[in-house]
Amino acid sequence: MIKQDLKTLEEKSIYIIRETKLKFKNVAALWSMGKDSTTMLALTRKAFLGKIPFPVIHIDNSIDFPETYAFREYLAKKWNFKVIVGQSEIKPDLVGAACCGKNKPETLKKIMKEYGFDALIVSIRRDEHGIRAKERYMSPRDENFKWNYKDQPAELWDDYASKLDTKGHIRVHPLLDWNEVDIWSYVKKEHIPVNPLYFSRNGYRYRSLGCTHCTVPLKSNAKNIDDIIKELETTKTEERSGRSMDKEREYVMQKLRALGYM
Amino acid sequence: MIVKSVALLGHKDHGKSTLIGSMLMQTGAATQARIREAEMYSKRMHKPFEPAFILDSFAEERLGEMTFDTTRAEIKHNGLAFALIDVPGHEELIKNMISGASYGEIALLLVSAKQDEGVRDQTKRHLFISRMLGIDRLIVAVNKMDTVGYSQERFEDVERELSRFIFKIGFAKQNVHFVPISAYKGENLVKKSQKIKWYRGRPLIDVLYDEARKGGKKHEGALRIITQGTISGDKGELIVGRVVNGSVSVGERISVLPLGSNATVEGIVVKGKKVRTGVIGENVALALDRVIDGELRGSVIASSANKPELKDKIKLKIFVTGRFGKRTLARFNGTEIACKSVKILHDIDTTTGEIVRTKKAKPLEAVEAEVRLVRKVPVESYDVTRELGRFVLYSDSKFAGIGTLD
């Protein structure tokens, strides 16, 4: 995995986050309490003199890890930002990708409508998945969250997309360029607090965090950030290999994203 | 690690995605899971292993065996990293090609040596676009050498056919290199090929490496900041923006354009910290000695002693991607400026580089045009400060072209 120049990545993300806040009327950011969206919040604080000037949304299906909920309360208080919790319901007949593809986007749709957000910051990265690698920094979605991936807008020279229509929104991806190892290097450099589940306990750690139903830990002895960075330099496994939804039927990520999965 | 961006160019099916896939595998940058997935889909389609599937992730791309949209992947070599930017080669997807190529610092053009393939209009068009985007270093990978028995003669034919055009559109001789390869067979990419003994140069990755090491030092010019708007600080509003040329220091007398308001810089914040100077590439927040009234999105801050010119009539070179209809907007640093008129002066044939006396502005061709804007904007040559010499053009709400100022 390639470690990139952190200053270059940081400046680009700050530019995009500022652009989002100043271009759109009503901005929100998704926060899963994971390392990526927490890094995004740290970058937001750098962009806005220590403040997070928009609400942060957690789509909660009530089955996240206890450590994850504790981390939510801890950081929201420490960094003083507003969290909107969107309660989504787990339906017993939906499992895996069907669950992720339906429950969370449906709840998010309700929140987007209720608050009238026109831009949503989502902390995906290109190196996570081939489909995410095809995203723009700013990508229009219609009211039903549909991603028209066959006809994405031109994006060059810092000229970013505007909204498609009055009801849709723009997905903003300020961390698109970052690699997993860059996130960890930055977390270390900036002392960004992270969920303790990322560190090894009894020979296992979570490399990517989802809910308790669909996330399994991987074998690892990485007990601190330096260990994690060392592990990533040599690993040949995928970051999301502990996420069951990614491994189901063909093109499941493409289908999920086209329907509005985050 | 500093990452150099390399824009892949070339006609569809001349091997751009296959090359990146093979480079990822040979340098160990592709994960086992991505390789296994590409293997699985190749098998399912009853094909031998296709490295392009590592990049082409959409179902439609794999089934159609054609890249739809741009993506990128990184490789490293001798302590230097490259982001290889994949782009679609198909004419109808030129919008996505431009989006990807606009991030490139070096161009890597693929030309198939296969009989009946060779140099095509789209090959030259991509080169034309890369020059317009300001790319001045070029590596031409003559691909599919395995299909012509690694023939030196065929390689030299392609080189001869393309060289004239390459130099005509402004690439300098010392910045252009031709390398024979087979992306699919993995020949002459990372290791010197034993099958191409007549080739005396280095394998592709080393040629890229040498070229990447050569350039990069930019001449720094006068202060230019593109503003994004204002944010609230402890003692009032701060203007935020990015330094795109020169540097800004506390105490400096500046002008905000096109407003024409003058002020003195009292404080600079970069990434939450107070600093004395903000330099090129940094996002700054500026405290001024007075409040600036008026539009602060997409404005330019310059030193009062050295300001760019304000113009409402500009001559642009435009690469045309759509139709110019009734209502044309010039998008400039996050703002939209309506055009009163777009008068085509003449066409430029993007496959010959020649000026043509017609005035048609057809998609996939270029023109020189005189554009009249409804208001004055601070501009200068694209070569001096890119952000002040470039416009993305939309006509009747559709992407119509990109324009640069000489």
Percentage above 70 pLDDT, chain B: 99
Nearest CA in chain A to B53: A130
Residue B70 · residue B57 · CB < 8 Å: no
* Residue in A131, A133, A156 nearest the CB of B99: A156
The average pLDDT across A193-221 equals 89
Nearest CA in chain A to B41: A250
Chain A closest-CA separation from residue B74 CA (Å): 7
For the stretch B151-176, what's the b/e string if a residue is b when 16 or more beta carbons lie within 10 angstroms of its beta carbon? eeebbebbbeebeebbeebebeeebb
Tokens read off for B241: 């923006």
C-beta atoms of A46 and B98 within 8 A: no
A251: pLDDT strictly greater than 80: no
Residue A100 · residue A213 · CB < 8 Å: no
Nearest CA in chain A to B234: A49
Residue A38 · residue A44 · CB < 8 Å: no
> What was the pLDDT predicted at A242?
77
ipTM passes above 0.90: yes
* Residue in A48, A149, A237 nearest the CB of B231: A48
Q: Tell the residue number behind the tokens 């890119």, with chain if given.
A: B386
Summarised one tens digit per residue, pLDDT across range B170-197 is 999 999 999 999 999 999 999 999 999 9
Residue B349's pLDDT band (boundaries 50, 70, 90)? very high
The average pLDDT across A109-115 equals 94
Mean pLDDT taken over chain B: 94
The average pLDDT across A22-46 equals 97
State the first-to-last Cα distance of chain A, in angstroms, to the nearest integer: 24
C-beta atoms of A133 and B238 within 8 A: no
d(CA A79, CA A59): 19
Higher pLDDT, A233 or A184: A184
d(CA B64, CA B13): 11
> What was the pLDDT predicted at B141?
98
Helix (H) or strand (E) holding B232: strand B224-233
Q: Which CATH class is domain A6-178+250-258?
A: alpha beta
Residue A238 · residue B54 · CB < 8 Å: no
Summarised one tens digit per residue, pLDDT across range B43-62 is 988 989 999 999 898 888 88
C-beta atoms of A4 and B60 within 8 A: no
Higher pLDDT, A240 or B301: B301
Residue A162 DSSP SS3:
coil
The average pLDDT across B290-310 equals 95
d(CA B111, CA B358): 30
Contacts of B195 (CB under 8 A, 6+ apart): B145, B146, B150, B187
Residue A245's pLDDT band (boundaries 50, 70, 90)? low
> What was the pLDDT predicted at A75?
97
Summarised one tens digit per residue, pLDDT across range B234-276 is 888 999 999 999 999 999 999 999 999 999 999 999 999 999 9
C-beta atoms of A149 and B95 within 8 A: no
Summarised one tens digit per residue, pLDDT across range B88-101 is 999 889 999 999 99
Nearest CA in chain B to A50: B272
Fold type of domain B3-214: Rossmann fold (3.40.50)
Burial class, B360, CB count within 10 angstroms (exposed 0-12 / middle 13-18 / buried 19+)? exposed
A247: pLDDT strictly greater than 60: no
Contacts of B67 (CB under 8 A, 6+ apart): B12, B16, B17, B52, B55, B56, B61, B86, B87, B88, B89, B90, B93
Fold type of domain B310-405: Elongation Factor Tu (Ef-tu); domain 3 (2.40.30)
Number of other CB atoms surrounding residue B37 within 10 Å: 17
Nearest one of B368, B164, B297 to A24, comparing CA atoms: B297
Chain A closest-CA separation from residue B205 CA (Å): 16
Summarised one tens digit per residue, pLDDT across range A126-172 is 988 888 999 999 999 998 889 999 999 999 999 999 876 678 999 99
> What was the pLDDT predicted at A246?
62
A248: pLDDT strictly greater than 80: no
> What was the pLDDT predicted at B50?
92
> What was the pLDDT predicted at B214?
84
Summarised one tens digit per residue, pLDDT across range A47-91 is 999 999 999 999 988 888 899 999 999 999 999 999 999 988 777
- In chain B, where are the structural domains located? 3-214, 224-303, 310-405
Residues in chain A with CB shorter than 8 Å from the CB of B3 are 2, 4-5, 8
Tokens read off for B163: 């060289």
pTM for this model (two decimals): 0.94
- In chain A, where are the structural domains located? 6-178+250-258, 192-247
Summarised one tens digit per residue, pLDDT across range B6-16 is 999 999 999 99
B216: pLDDT strictly greater than 80: no
C-beta atoms of A237 and B31 within 8 A: yes
Q: Which numeric CATH code is attached to B224-303?
A: 2.40.30.10
Summarised one tens digit per residue, pLDDT across range B144-175 is 999 999 999 999 999 999 999 999 999 999 99
Chain B closest-CA separation from residue A76 CA (Å): 19
Residues in chain B with CB shorter than 8 Å from the CB of A119 are none
